[in-house]
A = this chain, B = another copy of it.
Amino acid sequence: MADSVLRIIPLGGAGEIGRNSTLVEYGDDILVIDAGLMFPRYDMLGVDIVIPDYSYLIERRGCVRGIVITHGHEDHTGGLPYLLRYAQAPIYATELTRGLIQVKLREHKLLDSAQLHTMTPSVPFQVGPFSLEPFRVCHSIPDGVGLGITTPAGLVVHSGDFKFDHHPVDGKVTDFGKLAELGGRRPLVLLSDSTNAEQNGATPSELTVGELFDEVCGTAAGRVIVATFASNISRIRQVIEAAGRCGRRVGIVGQSMISNVRMACALGYLSEPSAPFLSVDEIEHMPAEKVALVCTGSQGEPASALVRMVNGGYRQLSIQPGDTVIISASSIPGNEEAINQIVDDLFRRGADVYYDDLMKVHVSGHGSRDELKLMLDLIRPRYFVPIHGEYRHLVLHARLAQEAGIPAENTFVVESGQVLELDEQGGRLAGRVGHGYVYVDGLGIGNVGEVLLRDRYLLSQDGFLIATVLVDEHNGELLLGPYLASRGFVDSGEWDALMEKAKELLVDALRDERHSAAGAPAVIREVLSTFMYSQTKRRPMILPVVMKL
């Protein structure tokens, strides 16, 4: 019967960047794991953020029994405010993750209506027909979990974002015992993080970064400034600890960093150093060799603390010769040029700069191939579904699973919205639900279509040109105009001559065509595009406005 079928549906998460969501569905019960967002790609012009298409969940909102969030990164939590508008369900998260979600929901004025529950690693709980067993995994943020999910069809294991760091900053290693125990229960399917499926060996421990921080804090003659993501609580902790060992006091710079540090201190995930954090005033007046700063800006974001410190946007803080700056984050694809530029500008300001191309000032939060293999060997599932990562990562991870002994017909590369059905008869892809990108631009959710993006692209290349005329509605005679204006097309110095000549051509052409006012827009478009291209080899968007009197 159809109801004994388990359905696994990745939304956004499989094959596309960082908008991770996985649905586990049995009969009329749906469990949602994670609800991420992505930041727009270079060709998504003017778009603020991108979320998965939740239409399937919205249609079946009466069936959503719960939303479990594995950890507090944006690509796992950022879609929540949008999902919750349409599909209310209890949310389950560990303490730090819940803290980060609360900050986010408060911003969206959704905190009061949200049903938030704290889950605790190793403490099972029930969501509809699903028995959940969260287990601790290491990642680049504390308090991450993977999930054992007992369903009527069998045991599903979801890895979360994980690595097997043997020396994590908070000392809490991945729960190997639980993984082995789950593996002993003959799991039906493993869903496992594929982000680093290209990387051989194992991801280095966070310990290596801590050692480097110790060395730099101990030897730098001036201030040490570490830029990282505001959510990277572990990295922030490493700076605080290294600074403490070397007699430096710590300042936190950047609003989002300050909010997160405050929240993490309140929840006990960071201990404020013995001396309190430095205020901006204190930073200015401390001897440079006694100061360590943590700030945002690792991606070269224009509004970030680091970029403002370089460009003089902070009145009191600015980069000085003798500063040592560590950019402790990997580049998100698309940000490379902005990061290169900030590194160059830091060198221009006389700072010493440590960055990824130069030495290992950052380690990934995701396990490499040997770790992915170990996860497979521990869980030994019947079926395997690679999740989290781009398409190539999924393919490489599926091949690794095959090398690990899972038959090819039992490994499934499932793309966003594809439905994987698992039952006694085996596994199969069974159609696709609503999927793809939903653009959020200003107040609009999902109302930015391909036509709009194409227009924005054309405007970005050669700008636009408008020509306004007033014609007699009966005989098409030109009464006023043409009035021409442009933006983004040519510099003002050239515009006057082009405009004068274009006006003459338009007056001539409209005189020839005067029998029909209806034909005027096409005439204007034709005359202007031909003339402007011949003069400039540019193709501005042309908008004729024909008013009739």
Contact = CB atoms under 8 A, between A and B. Distances in A.
A463 interface: yes
B538 A462 contact: no
A198 interface: yes
Given A336-B334, A337-B41, A468-B547, A494 B455 contact: no
Most buried by B among A15, A46, A334, A480: A46
Interface in A355-395: 357-358, 390-392, 395
Contacts of A433: none
A547 B466 CA distance: 13
A45 interface: yes
> What is the oligomeric copy number?
2
B462 A464 contact: no
A85 B470 CA distance: 44
Nearest to A390: B344
Nearest to A448: B491
Q: Is the interface of A mostly helix, strand, loop or mixed?
A: mixed
A46 to B, nearest CB: 4
B390 A547 contact: no
A459 interface: yes
Nearest to A15: B344
A537 interface: yes
Contact of A460 (B334, B348, B353, B456): B456
A404 interface: no
A536 B348 CA distance: 41
A451 interface: yes
A347 interface: yes
Interface size class of A (residues with CB under 8 A): 35 or more
B337 A334 contact: yes
A543 B459 contact: no
A443 interface: yes
A247 interface: no
Contacts of A448: 491
A441 B395 contact: no
Most buried by B among A198, A357, A392, A441: A392
30 contacts: A41-B337, A45-B460, A45-B488, A46-B461, A46-B488, A46-B538, A333-B340, A334-B337, A340-B390, A343-B392, A344-B392, A347-B392, A442-B538, A443-B536, A444-B490, A447-B491, A447-B493, A451-B491, A452-B488, A456-B488, A457-B460, A459-B463, A459-B488, A460-B460, A468-B468, A470-B480, A470-B547, A480-B549, A485-B543, A487-B543
Given A333-B340, A344-B391, 20 more contacts: A45-B460, A46-B460, A46-B488, A340-B390, A340-B392, A358-B396, A442-B536, A442-B537, A444-B537, A444-B538, A449-B491, A452-B491, A456-B488, A459-B459, A459-B460, A459-B488, A460-B460, A464-B464, A480-B549, A485-B543
Q: Which 10 A-B pairs have the closest CB atoms?
A: A442-B537, A460-B460, A459-B459, A46-B461, A344-B391, A455-B488, A456-B488, A442-B538, A45-B460, A443-B537
